């Protein structure tokens, strides 16, 4: 009997916590804030809202609103009102915020470890994880938060990416970001 997948996830979680605690500067920052900041750095313009973060992190919007307020006070994100819908506020990382994300110890260590596995094992690992998450999220009726380009609504129009759900053209750079409206192509 080997350890279960759940056990590995738990262990990785503990390591993530340890790394953050060991970081002199970031140890005072709640982990949820860093998770939210990371999310905002990889999500598209349909998903960079309070509700987007709420759905992604699995918390309540009141809690998330406070965490985002703290991120704004650190000047790691700034708010931008939506032009169409006046209820919506877009949350964008500042340059300082992006710098924090890129210097996260956890990301760097894991990235390096994954690379040491070699391309073949890396492919197997992320491939299996992708499939696993797809199954789970579909089965649980959860939002999948997949990459825009892998969405069933993703189309081409005049050679440019286009969203069939919102009926809007998409910035080319956004097609690799994750979206809260994402649905698997299958």
Partner DNA sequence: TCACAACGTATCGAATCGATACTTAATTTA
Partner DNA sequence: TAAATTAAGTATCGATTCGATACGTTGTGA
**What residues from 67 to 106 belong to the interface with a copy of itself (CB under 8 A)?**
106
CA distance 139 to 141: 6
Q: Is residue 2 involved in binding a copy of itself (CB under 8 A)?
A: yes
- What is the distance in angstroms between the CA of the first residue and the CA of the last residue of the chain? 34
Nearest residue to 41 (alpha-carbon basis) of 163, 134, 33, 166: 33
- Residue from 24, 86, 116, 173 touching DNA (CB under 7 A): that is 86
| CB of 6 vs DNA, minimal distance in Å | 19
How many binding residues for DNA (CB under 7 A)? 28
Find which of DNA, a copy of itself, none residue 68 binds, CB within 5 to 8 Å per kind.
Answer: DNA
Find which of a copy of itself, DNA, none residue 107 binds, CB within 5 to 8 Å per kind.
Answer: a copy of itself
Binding mask 53-82 for DNA (x = CB under 7 A): ------xxxxx-xxxxxx--------x---
CA distance 12 to 174: 29
CA distance 65 to 35: 14
Are β-strands 160-163 and 168-169 bridged in parallel, bridged antiparallel, or unpaired?
A: antiparallel
């Amino acid at each position: 009997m080997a350890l279960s997948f759940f056990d590995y996830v738990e262990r990785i979680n503990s390591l993530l916590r340890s790394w953050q605690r060991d970081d002199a500067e970031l140890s005072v920052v709640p982990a949820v804030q860093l998770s939210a900041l990371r999310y905002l750095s990889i999500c598209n313009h349909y998903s960079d809202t309070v509700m987007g973060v709420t759905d992604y992190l699995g918390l309540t919007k009141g809690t998330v609103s406070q965490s985002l307020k703290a991120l704004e006070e650190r000047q790691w994100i700034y708010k931008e009102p939506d032009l169409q819908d006046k209820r919506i506020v877009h949350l964008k990382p500042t340059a300082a915020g992006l710098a924090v994300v890129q210097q996260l110890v956890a990301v760097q260590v894991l990235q390096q470890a994954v690379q040491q596995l070699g391309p073949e094992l890396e492919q197997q690992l992320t491939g299996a994880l992708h499939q696993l998450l797809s199954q789970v999220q579909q089965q649980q009726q959860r939002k999948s938060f997949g990459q825009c380009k892998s969405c069933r609504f993703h189309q081409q129009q005049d050679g440019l990416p286009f969203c069939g759900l919102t009926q809007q053209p998409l910035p080319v750079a956004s097609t690799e970001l994750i979206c809260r409206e994402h649905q698997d192509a299958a």
